Amino acid sequence: MELIDGKATAAAIKAEIAEEVKKIVANGGKQPHLAAVLVGHDGGSETYVKNKVIACEQCGFKSTLIRYEADVTEDELLACVDKLNKDEDIDGFIVQLPLPKHIDEQKIIMAIDYRKDVDGFHPINVGRMAIGLPCFISATPLGIITLLQHYHIETSGKKCVVLGRSNIVGKPMAQLMMQKQFGDATVTVCHSHSANLKKECQEADIIIAAIGKPNFVTADMVKDGAVIIDVGTTRVPDATRKSGFRLNGDVKFDEVAPKCSFITPVPGGVGPMTICSLMKNTLAAGKKEFY
Ligand code: GUN
């Protein structure tokens, strides 16, 4: 079994990005600039956004954090998006999800200029991704593809089961794994209402677990030699930690790991790669690579 080190892989890619930014700036070009909009004080979102700002520093990007209280109105947030769309210094921006219930997330995403949508959530980017056109690809699926390539894991013709059908991970992940230039795999998507989920997993060469249920994937669901990618990041209480919690993946790591050829840990697997992909997208936005 080989442990997939997302932290080290992400660090190496961020160092490459930083080198490229140095060259751009040395040649009189502009430092890429990412803005992040954070609404409320959700612990998870605070951590993710903080890590995105740190990654910007590591890559030599400029970053701007815009904060709103949880009672911000939809109109106020739409006005913020409009301002960021028009701000010529900002190459790309994200609105951290989830948003409070009174705000229509899809309406906010649709308001983002797709040319600055470094999250790859706008329908134009989602659609272009689905038909294999250049675009911003959602950061977590892109990070997973990068990891599979970095570790030279064979995906072509393999049976891949994606657990979960979210717009952010499950759906784009299945799309990419199916496409010739990314996964070239035979893909099955399973979710909370799938009848034969266990059997599908048992037959899979690659399982990508993004179902949001801690320890959902157990050893009896995994065939010998399978590749396991764990996207789960549920916060579970842990009195032994200073923070009072730990991140728990969707995979029961201790019993599944011995059966695998490759497996990602939580934390230190997919998480750092998600942020690294956002940096890649921001660099591409700065270079006007897609639009
Ligand atoms: N919430 C969880 N993951 C993400 C992400 O990749 N982008 C944004 N904007 N919000 C998220």
- In angstroms, the CA 185 to CA 157 distance is 5
Is domain 139-271 annotated with CATH 3.40.50.720?
A: yes
Which residue ranges does the chain devote to CATH 3.40.50.10860?
27-113
225 Cα–ligand 1 center, Å: 31
**What does the pLDDT read at residue 272?**
97
Question: 84: pLDDT confidence band, cut at 50, 70 and 90?
Answer: very high
The number of the ligand 1 atom at minimal distance from the alpha carbon of 140 is 6
**pLDDT of 41:** 97
Which residue has a Cα nearest atom 11 of ligand 1?
A: 97
What would be the CATH architecture of the domain defined by 27-113?
Answer: 3-Layer(aba) Sandwich (3.40)
Q: Is 95 in the pocket of ligand 1 (CB under 6 A)?
A: yes
Q: Which residues define the annotated binding site for NADP(+)?
A: 164-166, 233
Please state, as a whole number, how many other Cβ atoms lie within 10 Å of the Cβ of residue 180. 8
**Which distant-in-sequence residues (6+ apart) come within 8 Å of 39 by Cβ?**
67, 68, 69, 70, 72, 77, 95, 96, 99, 100, 103
Tell me the pLDDT band of 268, cut-offs 50, 70 and 90. Answer: very high
pTM as predicted: 0.97
Q: What mean pLDDT do residues 238-255 have?
A: 95
pLDDT value at position 159? Answer: 98
Tell whether ligand 1 has an atom less than 6 A from the beta carbon of residue 231: no
The mean per-residue pLDDT over the stretch 143-165 comes to: 98
Where are the domain boundaries for CATH 3.40.50.720 in the chain? 139-271
Task: Give residue 8's pLDDT band: very low, low, confident or very high (50, 70, 90).
Answer: very high
Alpha helices in the chain (DSSP H): 6-26, 43-59, 74-86, 105-111, 123-130, 139-150, 170-178, 197-202, 253-256, 270-286
Share of the chain above pLDDT 70, in %: 100
The answer, yes or no, to whether ipTM is higher than 0.90 is yes
What are the catalytic residues? 52, 96, 119
- Please give the pLDDT value at position 12: 98
